[in-house]
Amino acid sequence: MAHDHQHGGPAHRDHQHGRHEHHQHQHQHQHGGGDAADVAAMAEMLDLDAEVLHSYLSDLTAWIRELTGERPPRRILDLGSGTGAGSFALLERFDGAEVIALDASEPMLRHLEAAARERGLADRIRTVQADLDASRPELEPVDLVWASASLHHMADPDRVLADVLTMLRPGGLMIAVELDAFPRFLPDDLGFGRPGLEERCHAAMAEWRAAQMPHFGADWGPLLAKAGFSVEAERVFTIDLTPPLPDSAGRYAQASLRRMRTGLDGVLDSDDLAALDRLLDDDGGPGSVLRRDDLHVRARRMAWAARRPQTT
């Protein structure tokens, strides 16, 4: 498997430090490295997301198969690939295809490469390390660009989308996938603590997100049109997995809630924090998400399909 490095500018942005430092680690770029434990936790969460939401990913790639009609993609670019959830789902869907997995984070790409070797797919994936905020990577035009949960990280999405247009062949397809909220797992009444804990966690996060990640939850259709794409379709995927769920759902809930927990000291009151800690108990104590049988997985993903016009 080949991998390239394309760094056109400073590898790190200055992050403000403060109450939400962990959230910044959680959601902002981890160019070239980042805290190893944090990257590992993020990678674990992305892998569990792909595993637990496998059937949604399969529906999504089936939709792309329909959109690509008689010309299934051969060259695919996965922008902000993370651990490769999209890369692997697309390779599974499109037999003859090859993927370029591009990410700013070197450790994410190393994780993806190891997974590709394990799956016997190393010869169909090439990794490129590049910070899309800093420069436009020089790549041969591709048939399909996939960007899942990565566009909202960009400092200047208008500029990145304009670049993405030129990375596609004329007539090529761009699929943008985003979320407007993080998944929910818990019943309102946990059997301990005050009802509504998960909603209070999300409310605290939403406040932070509005300030730190202004593009999260954006309507990407008009932004794609403004960049010169012809927007063809938009789909909402609603995920509602109900018990009994596999063990991976408990681990996914734990990984997701744990990442939220790191930013909630001093934000939630001590009763809520104690309840959250009980849910997150690694040893699977009473009430832990690892042994609860009342977890759901509720999530929503939005997908936009947009084409580079033949004439640009």
Ligand X SMILES: C[S@@+](CC[C@H](N)C(=O)[O-])C[C@H]1O[C@@H](n2cnc3c(N)ncnc32)[C@H](O)[C@@H]1O
Number of residues in contact with ligand X, rule: CB under 6 A?
A: 20
* Identity of the residue, 108 or 268, whose beta carbon is nearer to ligand X in the bound complex: 108
Per this entry, what is the length of the chain? 312
Nearer to ligand X, 164 or 224 (CB): 164
Per rule CB under 6 A, is residue 302 in the interface with ligand X?
no
**Residues from 146 through 205 that contact ligand X (CB under 6 A):** 148-150, 153-154
- 105 lines the binding site for ligand X (CB under 6 A): yes
- Measured from the CB atom, the residue of 84 and 287 that comes closer to ligand X is 84
Q: Which residues contact 259 (CB under 8 A, 6 or more apart)?
A: 22, 26, 41, 42, 45
Of residues 124 and 152, the one with the C-beta less far from ligand X: 152
Query: Is 100 near ligand X (CB under 6 A)?
Result: no
Residue whose CB is nearest to ligand X in the complex, by number: 82
Binding to ligand X by CB under 6 A, coded x per residue (else -) over 122-151, reads ---------xxx--------------xxx-
By CB under 6 A, residue 29 contacts ligand X:
yes
Which residues have a Cβ under 8 Å from the Cβ of 264 and sit 6 or more positions away? 201, 204, 272, 273, 276
Regarding 81 and contact with ligand X (CB under 6 A), the answer is: yes
Among 20, 53, 80, 292, which residue interacts with ligand X (rule: CB under 6 A)? 80
Of residues 82, 137, 157, 287, which one binds ligand X by CB under 6 A? 82
Which one among 60, 85, 161, 241 touches ligand X, defined by CB under 6 A?
A: 85
Among 89, 100, 108, 128, binds ligand X (CB under 6 A): 108
User: Which of 24, 30, 61, 68: binder of ligand X (CB under 6 A)?
Assistant: 30
Measured CA to CA, the distance from residue 124 to residue 87 in angstroms comes to: 10
Cβ proximity to ligand X, 77 vs 168, nearer residue: 77
CA distances from 279 to 29, 270, 293 (A): 28, 14, 13
Do the beta carbons of residue 11 and residue 138 sit within 8 Å? no
From the CB of 23, what's the least distance to ligand X, in Å?
13
Question: Residue numbers of the site for ligand X (CB under 6 A)?
Answer: 29-30, 46, 80-82, 85-86, 103-105, 108, 131-133, 148-150, 153-154
